[in-house]
Structures are given as C-alpha cells and as structure tokens.
Amino acid sequence: MELKTRYLGLDLKHPIIASPSPIPHNIDGIRRLEDAGAAAIELFSLFEEQIRYESESFDYFDSISSNTFAESLSFFPKMEDFKAGPDEYLNLIRKATEMCEVPIIASLNATTSEGWDDFARQMEQAGAKAIELNAYYIPTIDQSSHAVEQRYVDMVSVVRNAVSIPIAVKLPPFFSSMGDMAMRLAGAGANSLVLFNRLYQPDFDLANLDVTPALELSTPHEIRLPLLWIANLYGHVPCNLAGTTGVHSGKDAVKYILAGADVAMSTSALLKNGTGYLQTIIDEFVLWGEERGYESVNQMRGAMSKKNVLDPSAFDRANYVKVLQSFLPKRDLQVRQGRWDPI
C-alpha cells in the first residue's frame, strides 16, 4: 500500500505522527520516536504561561525578599541577564531538525497576542517545519460565545502574519458550530485543524475536600468525538484534518483516515506502552489496509466521511436515529445528503 502522505505541505512517509507528550522532551526522546518510525514528530507544547510563571516568579521572589533586612539585602545570586524564555525549547528544535530526517513540528500554547506572535516567529527561525497552535482556555462566565470564537480566529491571524511555515490548530470540541469555526479558522490561515484537545479537568478529593489536578491518559473510546467531526468536516474545509486522541492501535488510526483525516496522532499509547509501540500501530495500520486491498492511503482517506458514506444521517443524529432504523427509502436519504439536519 502506498503510504506517502502530504500534511501541512510536508511529505510524510505515512500518516502516523507522534503528538506532543513528555517523550520528545529531549533529543534522546525525539530520536527514539524517529527510530520507532514516526512520520513526523510534534514536540511538547511550549507554554507562554510557564515562561511567564518562571519570569514572574523569579521577579517576585527577588523583590519580596530583597532590601528588607540589612544583613540579607538579597537572597539569591543576581541574574542580570535572566530572561525566562524559550531558549531551551528553541535549542531543542534546532538540534532536532539537524539530527532528524523526519519533520519536526513545534507546539505552542500562548496566552497573549504578543506571545503567539513572538514565540511563533522564534520557532520558525529555529527551524520548525510547522507549528501547532495548542490553544485551549476556559472562558469566564461573562464571556460571550462570539468573544470566545473571535479569540481563536485572532490567534490564527496573528500567527499567520508572523510566520510563513504551515500552521495547525488544535481545537477543543466545545464550539456551538464546529463547521463554522472550522471554516473561519481555515479562512484566517490555518493549514490544518487538529481534533480534539483534551482539556485539563480537575477532580475532587473527597477525603480532604480538595480540588485536585488530574491528568489521565486517553482511552480508546475517546476517539469517537473527533472521529465524528472529522467525518463531518472532510471535504468541506479547505485545510488538512488531523485526528488526535484515542489512537491506541493501528485500527484507531485507520478509523481516522477513513473518516477523512490526513494524519492520525498518538500519545497516550506510547506513554503507556513505550515508544516502540508506535511501530506496532503503524504495522497494524498497514496490515489492515493491505488486507482490505487498498492501494494507497489516499484511497482510504475519507471513505467513511459524511460526504462519502451512504447513510450520512448516522453522523447527524450521533447514531440515535440509526438505532431506530430509518423508515425512509434510500433514495430519499440520498436527497438529504449534503444538507445539515434542520432539527
């Protein structure tokens, strides 16, 4: 089966990518992913928040403890040149692009316009082949949906103006009109939409009555939501689509490609089973495709998208109606193709 894939204008040897995780935290981890067969490697996200936290915390501790008591006018060595910045990350990009054959995609989670602009530029300069904008935030209670949506669009515009390399946008699933958002983002300059971001959701510690952080690895069934939307969007948005979350086997990757994704990404499975597991996923993917007689990935792509599938209503009612079995003749169903469910 011909595996070559084009994603974000990059030529990939196959459609399976290693998505951001702690693994590509250093050059060692990146090499291991390459050795395991990743077609491209996405670095962990650079968080503007983290950088600002470092910078502000240094500033805070420096000032709160200084010039208070005559014997200890300061507590830490002076760092005149201190600049909490992405240097480490940029160095990693540089080193990785030098040492690896496969494309390195940087990932950015900024919070301010300046942050998106500044860091994206620096990543491009450091040699990143593309940037994934890892944007998620929890809107406050008084923000309108319009404001929320505009924020995402603005983010893409800012980065589009700043860099010439391709931009992927990793989205959360909570938009009222996913299709509209997808079009607007593509219009603002996104070259790919990555579905979906898994948001940090705290848990309650009942013993201590405490709100505690909780980050768990994805489970296979989490594939369903992004699968649904990729299938819906395929053929309608003028940009790539990428499926992320819930890829725990080659078959999961198959599902995404069939839905219409250009690439499928895996993280949790690798964290759980080791980087070598990536090869297992690739092998499974290839095996399935060859067994079915597909000649190429391109042929697979979108075969089960809403556009192409016989009964698209399966996607419209999120399967509810299908369970009840459609009473309409097939021809009537076909007439309904291409129309969003009005109810």
Partner 1 sequence: MSQTTEAPEAVSVNVATIDGNEAAAYVAYRVNEVCSIYPITPSSTMAELADQWASEGKRNIWGEIPDVVEMQSEAGAAGTVHGSLQAGSLTTTFTASQGLLLMIPNMYKIAGELTPCVIHVAARAIATQGLSIFGDHQDVMAARSTGFAQLSSGSVQEAHDMALIAQAATLESRLPFMHFFDGFRTSHEVMKVELLPDETIREMIDEELVIAHRNRGLNPDRPFIRGTAQNPDVYFQSREAASIYYQKCPEVVEKVMEKFSQLTGRTYRLFDYFGSPTADRVIVLMGSGADTVRETVDYLNENGYNVGVLQVHLFRPFAGEKLLAALPKTVKHIAVLDRTKEPGANGEPLYADVIGAIFEATANGTSPFAQMPKVLGGRYGLSSKEFNPAMVKAVFDELVKPAPKNHFTVGILDDVTHLSLDVDTSFEIEPDDVHRAIFYGLGADGTVGANKNTIKIIGEDPRFYAQGYFLYDSKKSGSQTISHLRFGPRPIRSPYLISKAQFVACHQFNFVHRTDVLKPAAVGGTFLLNSPYPADEVWAQLPRIMQEQIIEKKLKFYVIDASKVAREVGMGNRTNTIMQTCFFAISGVLPRDQAIEQIKYSIKKTYGKKGDEIVRKNFEAVDGTIANLFEVQVPTTMSSKQELRAPVAAEAPDFVQRVTARIIAGEGDLLPVSQVPIDGTYPSGTSRWEKRNIAEFIPEWDEELCIQCGNCSFVCPHGVIRTRLFHKEMLEGAPEGFKSAEIDAKGFPDTLYTLQVYAEDCTGCTLCYEACPVRDKTKVGRRAINMIPKENEVIEAAQCHNKYFETIPVNDRAAVDFSSVRGSQFLEPLFEFSGACAGCGETPYLKLLSQLFGDRMLVANATGCSSIYGANLPTTPWSINHEGRGPAWSNSLFEDNAEFGLGMRVSSDRHRASAERILKAMANQVGVGLVDDILTSPQRVESDIRRQRARVQELKDKLVQIGTLEAKMLLAVADSLVRRSVWIVGGDGWAYDIGSGGLDHVLATGRNVNILVMDTEVYSNTGGQASKSTPLAAVAKFANGGKQVNKKDLALQAIAYGNVYVARVAFGANPQQTLTAFREAEAYDGPSLILAYSHCIAHGINMERGLDQQNLAVHSGYWPLLRYNPEVRQSGENPFILDSARPNLKFKDFSDNELRFRMLKQTNPAAVDRMMESAQAGINRRFKLYEEMAEVK
Restricted to residues 102-161, the positions that interact with partner 1 (CB under 8 A) are 112, 114, 118
Return the residue of 4, 76, 296, 332 that touches partner 1, per CB under 8 A: 76
SS (H, E, C) 291-322: HHCCCEHHHHCCCCCCCCCCCCHHHHCCCHHH
Residues 331 and 325 sit within 8 Å (Cβ to Cβ): no
Q: Are strands 10-12 and 16-18 parallel, antiparallel or unpaired?
A: unpaired
For position 213 contacting partner 1 by CB under 8 A, the verdict is no
Looking at residue 316, its amino acid is: D
For position 327 contacting partner 1 by CB under 8 A, the verdict is no
Return the residue of 50, 66, 157, 280 that touches partner 1, per CB under 8 A: 66
Q: Least distance in Å: CB of 53 to partner 1?
A: 10
**Comparison of 78 and 146: residue with beta carbon closer to partner 1:** 78
What's the CA gap between 28 and 235, in Å, rounded?
38
> Which residues fall within 8 angstroms of residue 36, CB to CB, at 6 or more apart?
18, 270, 275, 276, 277, 278, 279
Restricted to residues 27-56, the positions that interact with partner 1 (CB under 8 A) are 52, 54-55
What's the CA gap between 126 and 130, in Å, rounded?
11
Restricted to residues 253-292, the positions that interact with partner 1 (CB under 8 A) are none
Q: What SS3 state is found at 195?
A: strand
Residues 195 and 173 sit within 8 Å (Cβ to Cβ): yes
Q: Least distance in Å: CB of 272 to partner 1?
A: 19
Considering only 79-87, 160-168, 193-201, 223-231, which stretch makes contact with partner 1 by CB under 8 A?
79-87
Return the residue of 209, 215, 323, 343 that touches partner 1, per CB under 8 A: 209
For position 215 contacting partner 1 by CB under 8 A, the verdict is no
Q: Least distance in Å: CB of 122 to partner 1?
A: 13
Q: Least distance in Å: CB of 310 to partner 1?
A: 52
Considering only 31-39, 77-85, 168-176, 293-301, which stretch makes contact with partner 1 by CB under 8 A?
77-85
Task: Give the closest residue to 123 by CA, choosing from 147, 153, 167, 93.
Answer: 93
Looking at residue 168, its amino acid is: A
What's the CA gap between 64 and 16, in Å, rounded?
49
Return the residue of 3, 10, 49, 65 that touches partner 1, per CB under 8 A: 65
Task: Give the closest residue to 39 by CA, choosing from 282, 289, 284, 294.
Answer: 282
Return the residue of 9, 72, 320, 332 that touches partner 1, per CB under 8 A: 72
**Comparison of 113 and 280: residue with beta carbon closer to partner 1:** 113
Neighbours of 117 (CB within 10 A): 17
Residues 45 and 108 sit within 8 Å (Cβ to Cβ): yes
For position 64 contacting partner 1 by CB under 8 A, the verdict is yes
Return the residue of 2, 22, 35, 63 that touches partner 1, per CB under 8 A: 63
Interaction pattern, residues 292-311, with partner 1; x per rule: CB under 8 A: --------------------
Q: Least distance in Å: CB of 203 to partner 1?
A: 13
Return the residue of 2, 6, 26, 283 that touches partner 1, per CB under 8 A: 26
Both tokens of 92, joined, read 């990693």
What's the CA gap between 151 and 66, in Å, rounded?
39
